[in-house]
Amino acid sequence: MSRSAIAIPKPIGLQETGLWSVVILAVAFWANILRGSAPDDLPGLAPMITRVLDNGAFDVFAWGLIFVRSSRMFAAGPASWARIATVFGIGVIALAPVRLAPGIGLAILGVSLLRDRAAQPAGRQAGLIMLGLALETLWESRFLSGLHILVARADAVIVGDLFRMIGIPAAVSGNVVENLDNGFSIVIWPYCASSMQLAGFVLAFLVMCLYLGRMPRRSDLRWLGLGVIGSIILTECRLVLLGLNESSYHWWHEGPGISIYTVAALGLAVLVPVLATRDRPQPPAAPSPGHP
């Protein structure tokens, strides 16, 4: 008597699903930036390039690190159907033509990589970077711009105080600071608020720590805190320079000053993680068995 066997379909490899999930999210993430999915984004090649550059060197760096790890995120073996379903779910979310969609996908994949026992160290590192990117995407979305406006009002008060400290009379009204010496005033918009850059700074910190060869630790939080304070001080200084007079505003807003500010912000974002990773020397690696 012959007995027919039912062949169980052999699913795709776990490593390959990891790779697919990264590619799907990367395409959605960068497609949204290139197209410009915010209501006030302009069409055309030049705004497209500006949007990519505005998005920051650390986003490109972060994706580079994710791609380097994408083939080693999981151990070899077949993917579970739950994992495959997760990748499809993330892909469906990322279809939405808004920037928040790949952010949500990154958050889901990041959390699943950090919680999955099958994930390798490279997978956990990639998961952490994905959470950093997701945080940045959510933090800079217009749904949180009300929060940044509140911070902008606090920034205006600080800038007014700094003006008075250097002997310039100033008046503050909401998020508007007026230099009473010459009547020049600035409006602090959400994108210029000191809070706006903080998620990018956290991402830069994560990326640099991982680039320097180790997972961030709890003891790094004080360095992260110091870096956040440094980033806020840097923004307040820039706002004071913007509010001095019209020529200073143009120099620091559209002129060479913007490069100086960017270099200073990048320098801070690189320096703090370097100091954090040198803060405590790594314990010497235990000799592996079989090696003299």
Partner 1 sequence: MKTILRMGFATLIVLTLLIQATRGQRGDADADPRDALVSELQRMDIATRASTQEGTIDGQAPHCARPLHAMLLRIDGADDERLKGLDPEADQIRYIYNGIVSDRRDWAGVMARSALGSASFVLGLRSSRPRPDLVVVSLPRACPGLATLDWARLSPAG
The residues that touch partner 1, with contacts defined as CB under 8 A, are 9-12, 20, 23-24, 27-28, 31-32, 34-41, 43, 84, 87-88, 91-92, 94-98, 101, 142-143, 145-146, 148-149, 152, 173-176, 187, 189-190
Contact 249, 243 (CB under 8 A): yes
Least distance between partner 1 and beta carbon 102 (Å): 9
Least distance between partner 1 and beta carbon 17 (Å): 8
Nearer to partner 1, 96 or 154 (CB): 96
Nearer to partner 1, 102 or 216 (CB): 102
Nearer to partner 1, 99 or 238 (CB): 99
Least distance between partner 1 and beta carbon 279 (Å): 39
Nearer to partner 1, 126 or 196 (CB): 196
Nearer to partner 1, 84 or 266 (CB): 84
Nearer to partner 1, 152 or 272 (CB): 152
Least distance between partner 1 and beta carbon 6 (Å): 13
Least distance between partner 1 and beta carbon 149 (Å): 5
Least distance between partner 1 and beta carbon 165 (Å): 24
- CA 8 to CA 13: how far, in whole Å? 15
